[in-house]
Amino acid sequence: MGLLAMLFGMGMGMLTSLNPGKRAALGLVSSLVRSARNNAVARLAPARVRLDPATGTISANGMDVVGTWQFETLGIEGVSGFDGLSVGGQIIDDGFLGKALSFAGEPAGSHAEIPLHQNPGFDLREGFLMQCAVKLENPRGGRLLDFGSVASLEFRSDGSIRAWFKPEMVSASGVVSGGGLVAADSPSGVWSTGNWMRVEIAYDRRLLRLSLDGMEIARAAADGPVWSLQGPLTIGDARTPFPGAIDALSILAVVDTLHATLPTTVSFAPDVPREIVFSADGALDREVHAGPISIGLEYEDGSKDRVRVNVYGTVE
């Protein structure tokens, strides 16, 4: 009986030392950070982790594709089920990838519409990334995209490009409306006619970035949510047809991928970062983080642990 009591006592001590709450907390934090990084790598888009020491909560926010269009027919069929309608325009064979939709030389009123505003799942509030291929045939430029009067992409006659969006504003009485424009304006002469160009607009509630052929050409600081769409996505301009073609349009929006709360016996350390931002390649965003990040965890018994995120995004 004495031997049995000793063995059981040793076993209970070993089980106590395991402390499943510690292991659960470490696994939880590591898993959510890795999830955000994996999303950035998979989507080639920024991702972030938010930590709240007051509530012990952690969430991983990444981007997901909400719509893609290849413009092989005038029916404007979207891979994600968002189909549209073209009023005028023509399908040309020499697109960026296969065929493309062109309004060059078309009569007034020629444009296309995709009713994204009718689907409640299409939400750009927390941020978005828009990519498309563009070729202009006339140096006068024009408006290519209008996201329900909430965001726009415009090519100007001086060879510059403008991207803008309206942040959401809430009045003292609780009325929600669109605020003043947040615009990113490129220098003049960045585009020319006759060539396909890759254009990207990205907003992550920190910066609005405008890129051309993989190189950032303009940015603007902002941190407010995006106002909800007030109408359909319009491709081209019904008043003055866009003098060119568009192809390979895709839109990604920020989504909550995971959300969790630490066990009651675990809390974040006071120096825990409030946000971890990954760039599109899965590394830490160097504009936000100067070096590796350490996430401290403190346990009820006084012990501590740390989860380290290296500059390349690997989690230890």
Pick the last residue of a domain from 229, 256, 283.
256
Residue 39 belongs to a domain: no
134-164 burial: b if 16+ Cβ within 10 Å, else e:
bbbeeeebbbbbbbbebbbbbbbeebbbbbb
Q: Which of 256, 277, 294 is the last residue of a domain?
A: 256
Domain annotation covers residue 21: no
CA distances from 272 to 26, 50, 305, 308 (A): 14, 10, 12, 11
pLDDT digits (tens, 9 = 90+) for 1-35: 666 555 555 444 443 444 556 778 888 899 999 99
Determine, yes or no, domain membership for 57: no
Please provide the average confidence, as pLDDT, over all residues in the chain.
88
- Please give the DSSP secondary-structure letter assigned to residue 116: G
Low-confidence ranges of the chain (pLDDT < 70): 1-21, 80, 256
Co-location of 180 and 274 in the same domain: no
DSSP-assigned beta bridge partners for residue 221: 207
282 and 251 within one domain:
no
Domain presence at residue 43: no
Task: Establish if 154 belongs to a structural domain.
Answer: yes
Residues 185, 74, single domain; the answer is yes
Q: Are residues 158 and 102 in the same domain?
A: yes
Rounded Cα–Cα distance for residues 210 and 223 (Å):
16
Parent domain of 265: 260-316
Residues 170, 315, single domain; the answer is: no
- The total of structural domains in the chain comes to 2
Same domain, 316 and 299: yes
Q: Is 145 within a domain? A: yes
Token representation of residue 300: 């009820």
β-strand pairing of 47-52 with 57-69: antiparallel
Q: Does the residue 293 lie in any domain?
A: yes
Question: Over 234-293, what HEC string results?
Answer: EECCCCCCCCEEEEEEEEEEEEEEEEEECCCCEEECCCCCCEEEECCCCCECCCCCCCCE
Rounded CA separation 127/104 (Å):
31
- Structure token digits, residue 235: 């491709």
Predicted pLDDT at 80:
67
